[in-house]
Amino acid sequence: MNRFPKVLLATLAASSFLLSAHAQERPPSTVTFFVASDSHFGAPRMSELNRSVVEQMNALPGTEYPPEMGGRVDTPRGVLFTGDMTDNGHLEEFAEFEKVYGRTGRDGLLAFPVFEAIGNHDLNSESPIKKRVTERHGAINYAWDWEDLRLVCLDMYPDEKTLGWLTQKLARAGRQHPLILFFHYSLEGPYSDFWEQSEKDAFAQSLSGYNVLALFHGHEHHVGHYDWRGHAVFRPGAPRHSSHHFLVVRVSARRMEVAAWNFDDRRWVTSWSIPVTRP
């Protein structure tokens, strides 16, 4: 025999429904992360400049965003690093990267986790960097979630093998899942001919119909933004050469905002805003 009156059971059921509906209506949490690239450990002055980058990343939470964005920088979930950690693909150079950037936010100078892609300078005849990145993340191509945001690392660029892996991952994620993809090589412009047009066409086709918020790449050592076949593309600068910038990304319920921080002048230089589509 049920010990609870029917009226009480009905009230409890209604309350449960309202709580469930309220949870579904609750907007997703804002996700903040940084994007950097091309540390080139092994080249002159790179140890000094990368330490300055990490010092400023660690200090940036709490800093006011540019006026057009408003608010202050939250503690980032992590740092996406779009390749060329080393200058010559030597393991001792990567050890310097690990000493400065770490992996978990507790094992290097950087206070946040780092997620790196392979760059062309990280390769040599022995390819020890690929093995080390695999040890750090479980694979060269890997993915994870921050809230409902799916982040996907695509090696140096999405070649045929990587594209096969990506196709399976996208199918499992579903068409509505917000996606951030990152890799090393450029998609267009004077430094984009390191992979074939047919590979780019296949990559674009694989993304068709999916909720891709943005693509991030390095390689050019120059901060910027462009559109590629309907997708927003962003690139940070680099400690190497003169575009000394990294990116701060804030993904809220309906907008993704990207701001570029100049680590020479210690100031914002530009920002971009794009809409976010969620189911």
Is 0.75 surpassed by the pTM of this model?
yes
Give the angle 144-114-222 at the CA atoms, nearest 5°. 105
Q: Distances in Å between the alpha carbon of 270 and those of 37, 225, 251, 259?
A: 18, 10, 17, 6
> Which residues fall within 8 angstroms of residue 239, CB to CB, at 6 or more apart?
38, 39, 40, 45, 46, 49, 50, 53
* Backbone conformation region of residue 37, classed left if phi is above 0, alpha if psi is from -120 to 50, else beta: beta
pLDDT at 25: 58
pLDDT at residue number 279: 75
In the chain the domains, ranked by start, together with CATH numbers, are 28-275 (3.60.21.10)
Percent of the chain having pLDDT more than 90? 84
User: What would the mean pLDDT of 71-83 be, rounded to a whole number?
Assistant: 98
- The pLDDT confidence band at residue 271, using thresholds 50, 70 and 90, is very high
Q: What pLDDT score does 28 carry?
A: 78
- Alpha-carbon distances, residue 199 vs 3, 168, 204 (angstroms): 66, 17, 9
